[in-house]
Structure 1
Amino acid sequence: MPVHAAELSTVEVRARVENMEGMASAGSEGAVSGARLSNVPILRPGEVLEMVPGLIVTQHAGDGKANQYFLRGFNLDHGTDFATWVAGVPANMPTHAHGQGYTDLNFLIPELVDRIHYRKGPYFAEEGDFSSAGAAHIDYVRRLSGHLAQITLGQHGYGRTLLAGSPDLARGTLLYALEAFHNDGPWTVPEHYRRLNGVLRYSEGTRFDGWSVTAMRYRGHWVSTDQVPLRAIESGRLGRYDSLDPTAGGQTWRDSLSANWATRGAATQTQASVWWLRSGLDLWSNFQYALNDTTHGDQFKQAERRQAAGLGVSHALETGWAGFAQTHSVGVQLRQDRLAPVGLYRTQNRSQLSTTREDRVLQRSIGLWAQNEWRWTPWLRSIAGLRADAYRFDVQASDPANAGVATDQIVTPRFSLVFGPWQKTEFYLNYGHGFHSNDARGATITRDPVSGEAVDKVKPLVRTRGAELGLRSEILPGWQSTVALWQLSAASELLFVGDAGTTEASPPSLRRGVEWSNLYTFNDWLALDADLAWSRARFRDENTAGPFIPGAVTTTANLGVSVDNLGPWFGSFRLRYFGPRPLLEDNSVRSASSALSNFRVGYKVDRRTQVALDVYNLFDRKLNDIEYWYCSRVPGEAASASGCADGTADGYEGRHIHPAEPRSLRLTLRYQY
Structure 2
Amino acid sequence: MKRTNYVPFKLGKLCSAVLSCALLGAGSLFSFSALSESNNWNEPIEAVSIEKIEIQGKAASLIGEAISASEGVIGQQEILNRPMLRIGEILELVPGMVVTQHSGTGKANQYFLRGFNLDHGTDFATFIDYMPINMRTHGHGQGYTDLNFIIPETVQTITFKKGAYYGQIGDFSGAGSASFNTVNQPQTTQLSATIGEDNFQRYLLAGGIELDNEHINYAIEFNSNDGPWTNIDEDLDKTNIFLSYNSNHKSDDFKVTFMGYDNTWNSADQIPQRAVNAGIIDELGSLDTSLGGNSSRYSINAEWKNENINASGYLIDYDLNLWSNFTYFLDNPATGDQFEQVDKRKVYGGHLSYTAFVNWQGLPVSNEFGAQIRVDDIDEVGLFQTQKRQRLGVIRNDTVNESSAGFYWQNNIIWSDAIKTIVSARYDYFDFDVKSNINTNINGVNLSVNNGTEDAGNVALKANLIYTFNDDWEAYVSAGQGFHSNDARGTIVQVDPNSGGAIQPVDPIVDSYGYELGLRANLFDKLNASLSIWQLNLDSELLFVGDAGNTEPSDSSSRYGVELTGYYSVTDSLTFDLEYAYTDAEFDKLPSNANQIPGALEHVLQAGVSYQPQQGWFANARLRYFSERPLIEDGSVTSDDSQIMNLNVGYKFTQLTLKLDILNALDSNDHDIDYYYASRIANEPQGSATEDLHYHVLEPRTVRLSAVYKF
TM-score norm. by structure 1 comes to 0.94
State the partner residue of 1:587. Answer: 635
State the partner residue of 1:556. Answer: 604
Structure 1 unaligned spans of 5+: 640-648
Superposed, 1:156-167 pairs within 5 Å as 156-167=198-209
* CA deviations over 1:213-266 (Å, ceiling 9, x no partner): 0000000100101000011112212111111111100000000000011102xx
Tell me the SS of whatever aligns to 2:708: strand
Matched, 1:516 2:554: no
State the partner residue of 1:644. Answer: none
State the partner residue of 2:161. Answer: 119
CA contact (8 A) 2:583 2:602 kept: yes
TM-superposed deviation, 1:111: 1.4
Superposed, 1:360-439 pairs within 5 Å as 360-397=399-436, 398=438, 399-422=447-470, 424-439=472-487
CA contact (8 A) 1:15 1:523 kept: no
State the partner residue of 1:272. Answer: 311
Matched, 1:186 2:228: yes
TM-superposed deviation, 1:440: 0.1
* CA deviations over 1:518-563 (Å, ceiling 9, x no partner): 1111111101111100001100012698100100111101111110
Inter-partner Cα distance in structure 2 for 1:12 and 1:517:
17
Inter-partner Cα distance in structure 2 for 1:440 and 1:25:
33
Inter-partner Cα distance in structure 1 for 2:57 and 2:542:
41
CA contact (8 A) 1:344 1:498 kept: no
CA contact (8 A) 2:348 2:374 kept: yes
* CA deviations over 1:37-75 (Å, ceiling 9, x no partner): 111111111111101000011100001000000000000
Aligned length: 655
State the partner residue of 1:231. Answer: 274
Matched, 1:534 2:582: yes
State the partner residue of 2:21. Answer: none
Shift in alpha-carbon separation, 1:367–1:495, aligned structure 2, 3 A: farther
TM-superposed deviation, 1:402: 1.1
* CA deviations over 1:315-354 (Å, ceiling 9, x no partner): 1122111121111111000000011110000000000000
Inter-partner Cα distance in structure 2 for 1:98 and 1:15:
33
* CA deviations over 1:570-612 (Å, ceiling 9, x no partner): 11000001221110000111111111000000101x2110100
Inter-partner Cα distance in structure 2 for 1:63 and 1:378:
50
TM-score norm. by structure 2 comes to 0.89
Tell me the SS of whatever aligns to 1:246: coil
State the partner residue of 1:250. Answer: 293
Matched, 1:479 2:527: yes
* CA deviations over 1:169-217 (Å, ceiling 9, x no partner): 3631111100001001101211001100001100023998411000000
Shift in alpha-carbon separation, 1:290–1:11, aligned structure 2, 3 A: farther
Matched, 1:55 2:55: no
State the partner residue of 1:152. Answer: 194
State the partner residue of 2:666. Answer: 619
CA contact (8 A) 2:546 2:677 kept: no
CA contact (8 A) 1:291 1:633 kept: yes
CA contact (8 A) 2:326 2:547 kept: no
Shift in alpha-carbon separation, 1:507–1:340, aligned structure 2, 3 A: same
TM-superposed deviation, 1:140: 1.1
Tell me the SS of whatever aligns to 1:38: helix
Matched, 1:664 2:697: no
Shift in alpha-carbon separation, 1:15–1:366, aligned structure 2, 3 A: closer
Aligned amino acid, residue 312 of structure 1: H
Aligned amino acid, residue 652 of structure 1: T
Compare 591-600 and 563-572 and name the one that shifted more.
563-572
Aligned amino acid, residue 661 of structure 1: E
Matched, 1:313 2:361: no
Aligned amino acid, residue 507 of structure 1: D
State the partner residue of 2:444. Answer: none
CA contact (8 A) 1:99 1:496 kept: no
State the partner residue of 2:85. Answer: 43
Matched, 1:445 2:493: yes
Tell me the SS of whatever aligns to 1:434: strand
Inter-partner Cα distance in structure 1 for 2:178 and 2:697:
28
Aligned amino acid, residue 647 of structure 2: F
Shift in alpha-carbon separation, 1:41–1:496, aligned structure 2, 3 A: closer
Inter-partner Cα distance in structure 1 for 2:195 and 2:570:
33
State the partner residue of 2:683. Answer: 636
Aligned amino acid, residue 482 of structure 1: S
Inter-partner Cα distance in structure 2 for 1:544 and 1:442:
30
Aligned amino acid, residue 173 of structure 1: H
Inter-partner Cα distance in structure 2 for 1:155 and 1:607:
28
Inter-partner Cα distance in structure 1 for 2:150 and 2:312:
20
Inter-partner Cα distance in structure 2 for 1:502 and 1:474:
44
State the partner residue of 1:263. Answer: 306
CA contact (8 A) 2:59 2:528 kept: no
Inter-partner Cα distance in structure 1 for 2:489 and 2:128:
27
| Identity within the alignment, % | 41
TM-superposed deviation, 1:15: 9.3
Across the aligned residues of Structure 1 and Structure 2, the Cα RMSD in angstroms comes to 2.0
Compare 410-419 and 393-402 and name the one that shifted more.
393-402
Inter-partner Cα distance in structure 2 for 1:302 and 1:261:
37
Aligned amino acid, residue 246 of structure 2: S
Shift in alpha-carbon separation, 1:97–1:314, aligned structure 2, 3 A: same
Matched, 1:241 2:284: yes
Inter-partner Cα distance in structure 2 for 1:374 and 1:485:
24
CA contact (8 A) 2:224 2:237 kept: yes
State the partner residue of 1:578. Answer: 626
* CA deviations over 1:277-303 (Å, ceiling 9, x no partner): 010000000011111111101100000
Inter-partner Cα distance in structure 1 for 2:597 and 2:702:
34
Tell me the SS of whatever aligns to 1:36: helix
Matched, 1:143 2:182: no
State the partner residue of 1:461. Answer: 509
Structure 2 unaligned spans of 5+: 1-46, 439-446
